[in-house]
Amino acid sequence: MSEQDLEQKGVDVIRGLSMDAVQKANSGHPGTPMALAPLAHVLWTRIMNYDASDPDWVDRDRFVLSCGHASMLLYSMLHLTGYEVSLHDLEQFRQWGSITPGHPEIHDTPGVEVTTGPLGQGFAMSVGMAMAERRLRAQFGSTVCDHHIFVMASDGDFMEGVSHEAASLAGHLDLGKLVVVYDDNHITIDGPTELAYTDNVPERFAAYGWDVVEIGEVANDLGALEAGVRRGMENEHHPSLVVLRSHIGYPSPNFTDTAAAHGSPLGEDEVKRVKEILGLPPDEHFYVPDDVAEMYRAAGSRGAAVREQHTVQVREWRESDADRTARYDACLATTGLPGWEKQLPVWKPGDGPIATRSSMADTLSAVVDVVPPMLSGAADLLGNTGTKITGAEAVTREEFTGRLVHYGIREFGMAAAMNGMAASGGVLPFGGTFFIFSDYMRAAVRLAALQGTKVGFIWSHDSVGLGEDGPTHQPIEQLASLRAMPGLTVIRPADANESVQAFRVHVEGDGPTGIVLTRQKLPVLEGSAERAVEGVSLGAYTLVDEDAAAPELILLGTGSEVSLCVEAHGALTKQGHAVRVVSMPSWELFAAATPEYRDSVLPPGTPTLAVEAGATFGWDRYADDVIGIDRFGASAPGATVMKELGFTPENVAQRAEDLLGAI
């Protein structure tokens, strides 16, 4: 058998595996894996640098299947090239406990770089991955970092709005290591794309500043596919879009170019017909002949030599500069240099008042030199959200060593790009916007939680206290909704010292953190400098002790409302009540503390009044009564809005008296 015939046989085996897995599961998307099998073959055997025995090799080429519904294409390639994905795993496609779920999941399957499925986000995360690659290369040189990001994207990816945000950002930043193949197959689940989509995608991307390579009807021409991708790789000054016209479900007699091939099994009879056309045994399932297996295993191990050479080069590079090596190691670990926390600022009560957004900016500025992977940015609000670093330069298309990113008014794109950076490695991204606009980025925040990416979401203007901008800009339900998201740690600091510790918790931890900050100035609270260091990491702590052996009442606050609790404490103490004030910056961290600690902070049976300028939903787990907001806000000076909605020390004290009287 000629090499050309063997390659074609391999392509057809990929198609057979994809059809069989979807058919066995009676669920899935066979059409795109069938159409793009030749492209996958070319990428994995002729183009990409990777080593299947070391999926986490730091300088590997990255592959993103943005059209995650075509997951069987990726799983087939991972199995064939030697990743720890067995034939049995393919047979368990979409089954409970398998490592081959319906859409690729970063922690389930070796070789999967990011979790894709929600269309557009894989593409947007690939932009972040290209940013991470370029940043590490700018910091440490091409000896350490020099790889490409390859993406398969679909019509559906480019219909989603986040693709516009991300593509525009990538073109603006000249991310030349990003090569996206656009599978222009003209089919969605409802039918032909022309039902709703007549964009000129090549012209659109050209307008964004991308290099557009149109290769046309070559989906089954291995040589033309390779040439097209390599043309995209040649332009290292611009990201590249390789436009490929494919035919979904090819070569199925009854399902090629049909919507039915998009989201349903072909049926046993049709699978047999296609196998006969391809020359595969029609009655044999999950067929992988030895010669095909050997071909792909050889391709999967070919990168070992490149990886070993890179390891030697990096070892020599490390030995030449100890300080540079320490900074590189901190980037890989996405943390600070040893002892970095000593640079964290501390505020005393007389230093206030200060908005927590301002104390966050001061914190970033104080540690920027000792936290090398930190890359801050905002969706057009650097100076407003606490993400601006004093004296730091911005990233530009010409120079990528800056510490700030101007994301523009692209909240969703920013969040998705940060996920890509964190998944790629070497960068600790922070991104800011107003808390109300967390709604715009929520889908990417959810993927951060699902993937466990170490992303810092900084949300300022956290309540009705922001004032005159009114209900459209005043978050009410966002705290409750984000607390409901598994895997996301939400921290709402009460003052400057708590905001510092919120930053430290994120840097020293894993996974995403949402830090929710004030626009209005707050007092620096007595005792926070000493108690917040441990208290924030535990989610809640006693800020003001009761003047008795045990508390008669607990005032439980978050964020800006903790200071109201402190003032009310004074009034209640004068009335002879033994009152404790507890600051609870994070429900998630408190829930993770030991039961003994939780009971020591909130003794069971002690009447508790919670105070938070947001929806009361969920507070019944911790409090007997809540001062909150279950309506939208109003346009007026912030202090007026807070007073009118009951956020005054006097009202807190009165509600506390009422609670005690009702017990």
Same domain for 375 and 465, yes or no, is yes
512 and 543, same domain (yes or no): no
- At residue 497, the 3 state secondary structure works out as helix
535: helix, coil or strand? helix
Structure tokens at 599: 């009971």
- Please say which residue of 501, 516, 531 terminates a domain: 516
Does residue 320 sit within a domain?
Answer: no
Q: Based on the domain organization, do 288 and 372 belong to the same domain?
A: no
CATH number at residue 181: 3.40.50.970
Cα 385 from Cα 64, distance rounded (Å): 31
Residues with Cβ within 8 Å of 388's Cβ and at least 6 positions away in sequence, in order, are 361, 364, 376, 378, 382, 404
**Catalytic residue numbers, as ranges:** 411
- How many CB atoms neighbour CB 195 within 10 A? 10
- Band of pLDDT at residue 158, cut at 50, 70 and 90: very high
Residue 658 counted as domain residue: yes
Same domain, 384 and 503: yes
Are residues 502 and 603 located together in one domain of the fold?
Answer: no
550: domain CATH number is 3.40.50.920
Tens digit of pLDDT for each residue in 319-345? 999 999 999 999 999 999 999 999 999
Enclosing domain of residue 504 = 340-516
pLDDT tens digits, 298-321: 999 999 999 999 999 999 999 999
The reply to whether 48 and 117 lie within a common domain is yes
Is the predicted pLDDT of residue 663 greater than 80, yes or no?
A: no
Query: Distance between CA atoms of 180 and 279, rounded to whole angstroms?
Result: 31
pLDDT at 1: 84
Residue 117 CA to chain centroid, in angstroms?
13
Evaluate whether 602 touches 636 at the Cβ level (below 8 Å): no
Residues 157 and 273 in one domain: yes
Nearest to 287 by CA among 87, 545, 63, 424: 87
pLDDT of residue 347: 98
Counting Cα atoms < 13 Å in the Cβ hemisphere of 482 gives 33
The number of domains in the chain is 3
Is residue 230 one of the residues assigned to a domain? Answer: yes
CA distances from 585 to 448, 516, 652 (A): 21, 9, 19
CA–CA dist 23, 1 (Å, integer): 30
> Do 292 and 357 fall into the same domain?
no
Q: Is residue 156 part of a domain?
A: yes
Please give the average per-residue pLDDT across 449-457, as a whole number: 98
Indicate whether 501 and 546 sit together in one domain.
no
Model confidence at 506, in pLDDT bands (50, 70, 90)? Answer: very high
Q: Is the pLDDT of residue 57 over 90?
A: yes
Residue 315 domain flag: no
Mean pLDDT confidence for 52-56 = 98
Same domain, 385 and 471: yes
What pLDDT, on the 0 to 100 scale, is given for residue 352? 81
- Residue 572's pLDDT band, with cuts at 50, 70 and 90, is very high
- Please check whether residue 490 is in contact with residue 540, taking contact to mean a CB–CB distance below 8 angstroms: no
Can you tell me the distance from the alpha carbon of 245 to that of 242, in angstroms, rounded to the nearest whole number?
10
Task: Note whether 504 and 551 are same-domain residues.
Answer: no
Residue 332 covered by a domain: no
Whether 139 and 197 share a structural domain: yes
User: What are the backbone angles phi and psi of residue 180, rounded to the nearest 5°?
Assistant: -110, 125
Q: Tell me whether residue 314 is in a domain.
A: no
Q: Is the pTM of this model over 0.95?
A: yes
Q: What is the DSSP string of 516-529?
A: E--SS-BPPPTTHH
Compute the mean pLDDT over every residue in the chain, rounded to the nearest whole number.
97
- Nearest-angstrom CA–CA distance, 356 and 339: 24
User: Does the residue 484 lie in any domain?
Assistant: yes
